[in-house]
Amino acid sequence: MLVGLAGFLEMTDSAAAPRLSSWSVVLMFCMLLGPVWASACPSQCLCTSDLLSCTALDLDQVPVVLPVFTVTLDLNHNRIMQLEEESFEGLPRLEMLRLAHNQLTKIQPGAFRNSSGPLLRHLDLSSNQLMVLEQHYFQDLPGLQELLLFNNRIVRVETGALDALRNLHKVYLSHNLLTNFPFFSIQKHSHPNLSMLDLSSNRLPKLPLKDISNLPQLVKEGLYLHNNSLVCDCSMYSLFRFWEKQDFASVRFFRQEHVCLVYGIQRGVQFFLYSRFFDKCNLMGMKEQKGNVSVTAGEPLLLHCITSLSRTSTTFFWLAPNSEYVVPPGNNGSLKMFPNGSLEIVAAREEDSGIYLCMAQDQDHNETREVKVTVLRHEGEAHEHFNTGFTTLLGCVVSLLLVLMYLYLTPCRCPKHRPPTTVTLSRGKEARPGSAQSSILTPTPPLTTEGPGRKVSTNKHVVFLEPIREQQNGRLRAGPGLLLGVEPQQRAGETDSYVSVFSDTPILLP
């Protein structure tokens, strides 16, 4: 076949051969390549473009010979019981692998070796008979984004089963037989893109509240736990109530499917609809997830050290507001610390208010968390603040009334009536009462108007004027504040003029 292809190319390059159109060349190339593709396509399978479909063919193993150009491989609805080593060897372009509805019970080490590990992004293993997710199953698939494992018989997920899947976005583990799950293995630095973890319809009896609280926020928002065999307790109830207030989709869309088991009741209780079973629960756990918490004086308070580090090899310590280091088991009795990093304030006091700093550290990383604690003196402290403010306002009003009474209601001690004082101006003329003696402030410079043909003086700016006290040698003698930098002037033969500083209109004195 290759010899024929070479001969065809020689023929098209020769000058004697007729010129063929580009479409004729493409058609001839496809005709020659067709037998190659057909020979690689397994019997009874459908090979089209980059899709290889071998569904419902009663296969008991993965075909040995597979087209190298396969991007999507569909092996659904067969009888494949296990994946052997290098079952998908020679598929460098494989991106989607579907193995749903088979009888898989085991995946041998290296099953995905020599395949397109970094490119494979979708793996469907749903509706099989897998019982344990072992650590080596997916270690050759670092680019995997979606992992479908629902409707199996999985009873256990090993701690490191998902560690190699750093690009993982969604994991579907619903409808299995799980009684626990290694939540502590899901960390922000190990799974930064994980946004959905479906563990619904399993047999989880109790939730590790501390480990779930340490999950990355993106994982918590996409964590589905409905239809499990949860035992009704306050910690479980407070967790889901907190998620309800945060409007997580897992609660919003499956509100009625959240059930728990109460002692003496055979059927599960829909605790979102029947909350009377939790009337005595202290829901402080809902506040502990936030950075600011408050507690009434005398009551206990539990603070959690929220961290993304694995709890198996992590050490914790707290720094109290008074710069006191706290490590397990605590200090002299007012603060207790547990090995998992939680700190308990046994009986809150007002001096316990402030910023509490938690430090978590392992061999490679360290993280810190701040929690602001406010200790309230009693339940009605908010009303006390209002009363204090009202009292202050009332005091200000009373003080203002007293000032007004002092200004307007105090009796006026008026001096005895005295005859008006006459002041002789220069040349022996007397100044009539009024004007200068009663003038104090002047908003505008006074104008001195003189007779016909006389000039107007504009350089006399009176700022503060006191009454004239005496005469000396026929001239005016001003008080200390008569004029600032200006002396009274009067020319010979001019008509005396007197100006009121409260009027812009000159007043002529005869």
Q: Is pLDDT larger for residue 303 or for residue 424?
A: 303
In a domain, 195, yes or no: yes
122 token code pair: 């979708």
Same domain, 222 and 332: no
> What value does the mean pLDDT of the chain take?
75
Helix (H, G, I), strand (E, B) or coil at 28: helix
Residue 328's contacts (CB-CB under 8 Å, 6 or more residues apart) are: 316, 337, 338, 339
* Percent of the chain with pLDDT strictly greater than 70: 66
- Measured in Å, how far apart are the chain's first and last C-alpha atoms? 138
Are the C-beta atoms of 172 and 197 separated by less than 8 Å?
Answer: no
Q: Higher confidence at residue 352 or residue 510?
A: 352
Q: Is the pLDDT of residue 5 over 80?
A: no
Among 316, 351, 376, the domain boundary falls at 376
What confidence tier does 213 reach under pLDDT thresholds 50, 70, 90? confident
The reported pLDDT for the residue numbered 33 is 44
Going by C-alpha positions, the residue among 122, 160, 169 that lies closest to residue 141 is 122
Q: What percent helix, strand, coil does the chain show, rounded to 5?
A: 20, 20, 60
Q: In this predicted model, which residue has the larger pLDDT, 423 or 178?
A: 178
Is-cis flag, bond preceding 329, omega within 30? yes
Q: Give the model's confidence band at 268: pLDDT under 50 very low, under 70 low, under 90 confident, else very high.
A: confident
Determine the pLDDT at residue 20: 46
Same structural domain, 310 and 249: no
pLDDT at position 370 over 60: yes
* pLDDT tier at 418, thresholds 50, 70, 90: low
The mean per-residue pLDDT over the stretch 456-465 comes to: 40
Same domain, 49 and 176: yes
- Residues contacting 166, CB < 8 A, separation 6+: 142, 190, 191, 192
Q: Which residues pair with 124 in a beta bridge?
A: 98, 148
Residue 41 has pLDDT above 50, yes or no: yes
Q: Is 190 found in the same domain as 147?
A: yes
Phi, psi of 493 (to 5 degrees): 80, 0
Domain that holds residue 493: 421-510
Of residues 294 and 379, more confidently modeled: 294
Picking from 278, 303, 333, the residue at the C-terminal end of a domain is 278
Buried b vs exposed e over 96-131: b needs ≥16 C-beta within 10 Å?
bbbbbbbebeebeebbbeebbbebbbebbbbbbebe
- Looking at the fold, whether 367 and 458 belong to one and the same domain comes out as no
Q: What are phi and psi of 359, to 5 degrees?
A: -120, 125
Strands 82-83 and 106-107: parallel
Specify whether 254 is located in the same domain as 367: no
Which residues, other chains included, contact 152 with Cβ-Cβ below 8 Å and sequence gap of 6+? 125, 126, 127, 128, 129, 130, 131, 175, 176
Say whether both 117 and 169 belong to one domain: yes
Q: What is the pLDDT of residue 283?
A: 53
- Whether residues 331 and 204 fall in one domain: no
- Spatial separation of the C-alpha atoms in residues 504 and 510, rounded to whole Å: 19
pLDDT digits (tens, 9 = 90+) for 184-197: 999 888 899 999 99
Cα distance between residue 445 and residue 463, in whole Å: 9
16-30, 232-246, 302-316, 387-401, range with the lowest pLDDT: 16-30
Q: Report CA-CA distances (Å) from 203 to 206, 210, 258, 431.
A: 9, 19, 13, 113
Instruction: Report the distance separating Cα 325 and Cα 225, nearest Å.
Output: 38
Higher pLDDT among residues 279 and 72, named by residue: 72
Q: Is residue 4 included in any domain, yes or no?
A: no
β-strand partners of 502: none
Evaluate whether 509 touches 497 at the Cβ level (below 8 Å): yes
- Considering the domain boundaries, does residue 416 fall inside one? no
| 353 in any annotated domain | yes
Which residues contact residue 339 at a Cβ distance below 8 angstroms, ignoring those fewer than 6 apart?
A: 316, 328
Residue at 259 is within a domain: yes
Residue 163 lies in a domain: yes
Please list, in sequence order, all residues whose beta carbon lies within 8 angstroms of the beta carbon of residue 372, skipping any fewer than 6 positions away. Answer: 291, 292, 293, 354, 355, 356
352 and 477 fall within a common domain: no
Q: Which of 354, 376, 398 is the last residue of a domain?
A: 376
> Domains in the chain: how many in total?
3
Degrees to nearest 5, angle at CA 269 with 268 and 273: 150
Do residues 193 and 222 share a domain?
yes
Q: Do 202 and 91 fall into the same domain?
A: yes
Counting DSSP H helices and E strands in the chain, the numbers are 8, 29
The overall longest dimension of the chain from CA atoms, in Å, is 144
The percent of residues in the chain predicted with pLDDT above 90, rounded, is 33
Q: At 501, is the pLDDT very low, low, confident or very high (cuts 50, 70, 90)?
A: very low
Mean pLDDT of 79-86: 94
Residue closest to 305 by CA, chosen among 256, 384, 360: 360
Q: Which residues contact 100 (CB under 8 A, 6 or more apart)?
A: 76, 77, 124, 125, 126, 127, 128, 148
- Residue 308 pLDDT class (50, 70, 90 cuts): low
Output the domain CATH number for residue 322.
Answer: 2.60.40.10
CATH at 274: 3.80.10.10
Q: Looking at residue 381, what DSSP letter applies? A: H
Task: Please report the pLDDT score of residue 405 as a whole number.
Answer: 80
Residue 157 in any domain: the answer is yes
Which residues are within 8 A (CB) of 4 and not within 5 positions of it... i.e. 6 or more apart?
32
Band (pLDDT 50/70/90 cuts) for residue 433 is very low
At 233-262, the pLDDT tens digits run 888 888 898 899 889 999 999 999 999 988
Same domain, residue pair 317 and 185: no
pLDDT tens readout for residues 120-143: 999 999 999 999 999 999 999 999
Task: Write out the H or E segment, with its range, that includes residue 407.
Answer: helix 381-408
Q: What is the pLDDT of residue 224?
A: 97
Comparing 1 with 42, which gets the higher pLDDT? 42
Letter for the amino acid at 304? H
pTM for the full predicted model: 0.55
Q: Is residue 407 part of a domain?
A: no
Residues with Cβ < 8 Å from 111, sequence gap 6 or more? Answer: 83, 84, 85, 86, 87, 88, 137, 140
Tell me which of 337-341, 368-372, 397-401, 469-473 is least confident. 469-473
